Every structure is written in structure tokens, then in C-alpha cells.
Amino acid sequence: MKTYEFPFSAIVDDDDMKLGLIINAIDSKIGGILITGPKGIAKSTMVRSLSSILPEIKAVKNCRFHCNPYGNLCDECLERKKNNSLEIENMKIKIINLPNSATLDRVVGSLDIKNAIRGRAVLREGLLGEGNRGILYIDEVNLLDDSIVDSILDSAASGINIVEREGVSYIHPAGFILVGTMNPEEGELRPQLLDRFGISVEGKLPTSTEKLIEISRRVEEFDLNPEKFIEQYNDRDNEIRDRIKNARAILNEVKIDDEYLNFIANIIIENSLSNRTMISTIKAAKAIAAYNNRKNANSGDIKKALEFALNHRLKEKGKSSPDYNFNNGNQKNDSVDNEKNGENKGKRDNIDNDLNNDTGVKGNHHNTDNQDDKNQNDMGNKKNGENKINNIELSVNNKIKTKKSGKSGISDSYRNMGIKNGRNIDIRSSVLNSGMSGYKKINYNAIVMKNMYSKGSIPVIIAIDSSKSMNFNSRINIAKNISNLLLKKIYLIRSRVALLSFSGYSSKVVLNFSRNFTELENEIDNIKSSGKTPLYDALYNIYKLSAYEKIKTISILITDGRGNIFNSNPYNDLKYISEKIKNVSNLYIVNTETNEYLPSYNKLIAEYSNGKLINNLSDIKIG
């Protein structure tokens, strides 16, 4: 069945969306584009039509990764080149759709089952391999599992995919035009992942009757006779295609003057943005200049590149956009941080509307790129013996491998020893282990059990009451003990921890979800006591942090429960927010109030959140 794509140049308005896609097609190392906006504004239509305007490329014939014959080659193509059997063909750019149901194995690649049952470990390429030198399109990227998005963004930034799974060791090219679309009303993308998209564009609804009428007219014409409609826009599409081809040819010759570089750097530094922001801005500016057939970027190119690279990052931080206009070397940045830094007097709009309208979590978002965590000794104060977190079952994946033929990832023998710890049977691993161990069907000795842990699972939130009271130091010591205990267990199951403190008139996220336990301990040490106890706002932020996760979080609230800052009635406020927390988090309340006769809201919170009041850290159960 022949299908037709709506012509790229026939799409009405949304010039920024078009330009963002085009410059990523010119230079895929920009880092991909995130397109946000409400439903029905042609986000998906524009992405699909992009492939029709891209020039054909040279590729190695019959290569599963579509290798560039003049660039990085996979192992198979290197072997062909060595044997003088490398053939070249012209190839149209392909769009690889990545569905929300995709698994990590399907995305990055995995062991080929047909070869596995014969005792050979051979890579079955994933969508990253199939999408090399094409367009990798993720619709509703905010609904995709974080670990999968993280792997995709790693490959988009590096241009390669490294597979180390189930006895397969393989590296192959994975350079693609990454396009993610999302509707913020259906859920936000985590701040750490948001930053990793090079640029973003927000699609807008039509603002005039003329444009809306023109959109409906063109769609109707396309539906009635797609071939005739496409022909009307051939010349315009060909013009865009030629400009892209020319831009790719001159891209490496484009220069940016030092005064522009200083202007960009100052804006990024003043807004506390990452190195990645600078790199994406520079690459975007050069691609825009090249598309306009200029070898020197001008102020207009710089302004547009800054808008593309900064707006989504500033929005996530709750900051307004600075002045992107370059005025004769005047590098004044009028950016103003809109956060109130603890001056919230407890007045808050309806929580449901607040969550729907927010674009990120309040507080300071630290750089949480994956880092190698150092082994640390248990430094917390211990009483009555060593503290423990019970009921965490961890399995060590014991593998036995023999002779392996280098980069090809093919081994003469591979066997994964059966693992009996865990609560769920890992069907895939059990089948592979049985076949590769010589069994004709699943054998008990080759069965693998698992606890359904995955990268990014079991997010943990530690909320510390930092209001002034006699037992403040006690609460800090408890938090340190929890940090040390989490380090021992959670690091092994690849979890993440967020830290918030509350005092004065508001709560504050001092560390967003991270696996950096050194930074966690430093932030705990830096917490200062002050003012009153905004208990409601702390619970609100626990709910908000948890609501962004795709699985239930574990929240540990360390407080005496004597809150004194509320919107209206304390009972109603706490009952309402506690019931909301019940759906998104398993709450543990570490009660630091030793005098049972003093008023405390801890029992109320536990009752309506289905939480647990605890006095012993060993009662905290993860897994």
C-alpha cells in the first residue's frame, strides 16, 4: 500500500518548529529537538514530512546500520572494506518510530535468540542501530521510561551505541536526528532529561481565523488528491532540500565572532546553565547561519539559537527569558529569577490546577548526570547496634564466559548461572540460559529470578523538618543515618534520592533526584534551622516530586509533626494532601517528637496517606 506524507512546505505557520527540525537535519550533533505543545497542532505531521525533504545519503549496501562509507564503520563494514567488498548505494532517510511500549532491549539491542539457542552470542540490533543516519522519532517522549530516554540521549550525544548485555559486547554507529514530541498536559519530562535535549520549540495553536481556515483547506485538498497536492509544493520542498544540502557542505566553515561567544557565555553563566547549553547554542547558531548560506553567524542567528537552547531550560528553573538581543557588545542580561526563596506565606491555589500548570519542580535543580559513586563507610551515629534497612533482596548476576572473538561479540560458549533470589521469574533470561546451557527446555538450574528492579527504579525522597526546635540536630543525624544506609543498598539497585527541607514559610527541593550520595550528604550538612514549620508545603512538594515519577516513590518524612503554616484549616489541608500522597508514594514518618502529650499532626498524616509512623530506621522497607 502506497502512503503519502503531507508536504513539509505546505504546513501553515510554525516557522520555529520547521527551523528547529531543519537545523537538526543539518547537524544532528545539536542533540535533538523537543517539540512541546497541545494536541492537534501538526507536531507528528511535521516530523513525518521532514524525511521527504531530506537529501539522499550514501550508505554501505546491505549494512544493517546504514554505515557512512566515508565515516565511522561498524565491524561488519570494516571487514568488508578490508576484503575490498564494500559496495555503496544511495539511500533515502528513514523515520524510525519508537513506541512508548518499547523495552530497553528493543531500543539498544540484545542477544539474538535464534543464535542463542545454538550457543552463540550475537547482537540483534535495536532501534538505535536501525535509526543510524535516519530520524528517530519519539511521540509522547514524556510517557517513555526514563532509563530508555536516558540511553537514547546518550547515543544522540555521542553518535555511538555501546551494547554490553547478556554476553554481547558491541559498539556501532548511532548518529540520528532525534525528535521528541510531547503534550505537557499529559505529564512533564524529568528536569535531568529535559536538559539533555539540545533545543526545544513550543508549538502554538492558530491565533487567526485566516490561518485556521487555510489549514483546513490544505488538509482537505490533500485528502481528496494527495498526489496533485504534493506536486503543487514540489518546488518549495526541493528548495528546502537544496538549502539543507548546501548547509551541510559549508557547516564546518561557519565562524562565530568572539564578541558573540562572550555574549552567549555570559547569558548562560548568569542563568546557571550547563556546558551542554553552550555547546547546543553554538551548534544551532552555526546551523542556522549555514542554512541561510552564511559563513559568519550574525546577531539574528545568535538570538534564535539562544531561544532554541535556553527557553526549555529556563522554564524548568522557573526563570523568565533574558534579553537575547545583541547590542554592540552590550552584554547586559535582564534575566530575573521569579522564585520567592522562602517568602511564600502559605497561600496556594488549588493543588490540582497548580500541578497541571507547572513546568517543573520548585527548588534548586542540581546537575545529576550519572557519576561513579565512591564507596563510603557508615559514618552515622549508631545506637543499640548497627542500623539496617531490611527486606532488600539483591542478586549478583554471575556469568561464565569463555573465548570471545573480540568486537564481534560472538562467543563459543556463554552461560548465565541460575539465580534463585527474587520474587519474579525473568522469562527471557531463563529461556536464554537454558538454551545456551544445552537444555532443550527451561531447566530449574537455569531459572533466573528478579525483583523487577530497573535503572531509575525506587525513587526515594528524604524530607527534613529544618524549623527551629530543640530536636533539630536529632533530625539531621537521622537524615545522615538514612543517607548512609541508602548508600549501602540503593546504589546497588540503581535508585535515586531527592532531598527537601522545610522551614520558615515554604519547603525547598535542595537536591533533585540523583545517585550522587556525596552531594546528598553535603546538602544535609548545609541545612540550617530557621523559623516555623510549613508542614503542608513539605507534603505538597513530596506529592509533586512523586507525581512526576512513573512508579510509586518511597518518601521519608523526618519531623515532630508540629506544623504551623497552612492555607486555611490545618486538619482539612493535611487530610487533603495526605490522601493525594497515598496514590503516588509510600510514606514513612520518622517521628522525632518524644513527648506524646505535645500536639503533633504525624498520626493524622499517617492515617490519610496510608503511611507508617516509625521510630526505627529498620522499619523502612524498600523492594
How far does Cα 39 stand from its chain's mean position?
21
- What cell does 238 get? 526541493
Structural contact between residues 233 and 226, judged by C-beta atoms closer than 8 angstroms: no
Separation CA 430–CA 438 (nearest Å): 12
For residue 557, what is its C-alpha cell? 518524612
**H-type alpha helices, 96-208:** 104-108, 113-116, 127-130, 146-158, 191-196
Active site residues: 276
> What phi and psi, each to the nearest 5 degrees, are found at residue 6?
-60, 135
Pairing mode of beta strands 168-173, 160-165: antiparallel
**Is the four-CA dihedral 77, 80, 81, 87 of positive or negative sign?**
negative
Q: What is the residue-wise DSSP string for 253-316? A: G-B--HHHHHHHHHHHHHTT--HHHHHHHHHHHHHHHHHTT-SB--HHHHHHHHHHHHHHHHHH
SS3 state at 602: helix
Cite the beta strand spans of 152-198 per DSSP E.
160-165, 168-173, 177-182
Taking alpha carbons only, the member of 63, 32, 80 closest to residue 129 is: 63
Helix (H) or strand (E) holding 128: helix 127-130
Read off the C-alpha cell for 592. 522525632
Instruction: Give backbone dihedrals phi and psi of 111, rounded to 5 degrees, phi first.
Output: -70, 135
**Residue 327 phi, psi (nearest 5):** -120, 90
Q: Is 118 left (phi over 0), alpha (psi -120 to 50) or beta?
A: alpha
Distance CA 20, CA 46 (A): 11
In sequence order, what are the beta bridge partners of 514? 497
Q: How far apart are CA 55 and CA 50, in angstroms?
A: 10
Per DSSP, the three-state class of 116 is helix
